[in-house]
């Protein structure tokens, strides 16, 4: 493999590692930190320019490989010279291999961008859901407190009635005791 294709293959392996890292079922905090790292690098103009230049070069290699595959497809096959046929087949194989590697590299670059966008949406929805859950939790707490207040109000009313009854019975007993004291 040539040096350019070796570099493209390394880029492909790096993209495969990144996709694996993004797709693994990691915790929200780990995933959030990975996405923050990607968003931070995407916000840097130097990183964006470098990424676009590298992807542009890979795209040019893809176009060149595609053109080479199409031109190798139309090469005549010799019935008499096996060495010529073997060379033609090897050239066709190498061109196809180069086209697949560069095509996969471009595909993974687009896939990484889409996966990061999806993860960003998931994280935003998780934050909204946690805020809604907090509001619902406070609403449930308020309802519980209101029910407690109602039950305490009922208990207070019962105690008031009990106090009134005790006061009445005390008042009824008080005149009898006074009359008993007078008699003594």
Mean pLDDT taken over the chain: 85
Predicted pLDDT at 59: 93
Per DSSP, the residues of 70-110 read HHHHTPPPPSS-HHHHHHHHHHHHHHHHHHHHHHHHHHHHH
- 73: which residues sit within 8 A by CB, 6+ positions away? 92
- Is residue 78 scored above 80 in pLDDT? no
- Is residue 180 scored above 80 in pLDDT? no
- Is residue 5 scored above 80 in pLDDT? yes
The highest-confidence range among 29-33, 101-105, 178-182, by mean pLDDT, is 101-105
DSSP state of 182: H
Predicted pLDDT at 166: 87
Q: What is the pLDDT of residues 156-169, one digit of tens each?
A: 999 999 989 888 88
What is the C-alpha to C-alpha distance for residues 135 and 139, in angstroms, rounded to an integer? 6
What is the C-alpha to C-alpha distance for residues 99 and 84, in angstroms, rounded to an integer? 23
Q: What is the pLDDT of residues 38-49, one digit of tens each?
A: 889 888 999 989
Instruction: State the virtual CA torsion across 45, 47, 50, 53 in degrees, nearest 10.
Output: -70
What is the C-alpha to C-alpha distance for residues 103 and 58, in angstroms, rounded to an integer? 8
Q: What is the pLDDT of residues 135-159, one digit of tens each?
A: 888 887 888 888 888 998 889 999 9
Q: Long-range pairs for 63-70 at CB < 8 Å and ≥24 separation?
A: 65/95, 65/96, 65/98, 65/99, 65/102, 66/99, 68/95, 68/98, 68/99, 69/95, 69/96, 69/99
DSSP state of 184: -
Kindly state the average pLDDT of the residues 14-38. 88
- Is residue 71 scored above 90 in pLDDT? no
- Is residue 182 scored above 70 in pLDDT? no
What is the C-alpha to C-alpha distance for residues 62 and 102, in angstroms, rounded to an integer? 5
26: alpha, beta or left, given left = phi > 0 and alpha = psi -120 to 50? beta
Predicted pLDDT at 42: 87
More confident position, 26 or 50? 50
What is the C-alpha to C-alpha distance for residues 104 and 12, in angstroms, rounded to an integer? 7
Q: Is the distance from CB of 72 to CB of 92 less than 8 angstroms?
A: yes
């Amino acid at each position: 493999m040539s040096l350019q294709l070796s570099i493209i293959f390394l880029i492909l392996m790096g993209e495969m590692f990144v996709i694996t890292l993004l797709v693994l079922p990691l915790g929200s905090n780990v995933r959030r930190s990975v996405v923050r790292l990607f968003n931070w690098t995407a916000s840097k103009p130097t990183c964006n320019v470098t990424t676009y230049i590298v992807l542009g070069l890979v795209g040019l290699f893809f176009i060149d490989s595609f053109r080479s595959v199409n031109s190798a497809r139309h090469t005549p096959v010799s019935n008499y010279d096996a060495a010529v046929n073997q060379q033609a087949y090897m050239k066709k194989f190498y061109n196809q291999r180069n086209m697949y590697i560069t095509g996969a590299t471009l595909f993974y670059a687009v896939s990484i961008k889409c996966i990061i966008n999806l993860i960003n949406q998931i994280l935003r929805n998780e934050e909204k859901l946690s805020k809604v859950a907090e509001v619902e939790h406070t609403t449930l707490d308020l309802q519980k407190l209101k029910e407690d207040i109602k039950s305490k109000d009922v208990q207070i009313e019962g105690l008031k009635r009990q106090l009134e009854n005790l006061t009445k019975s005390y008042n009824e007993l008080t005149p009898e005791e006074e009359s008993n004291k007078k008699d003594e």
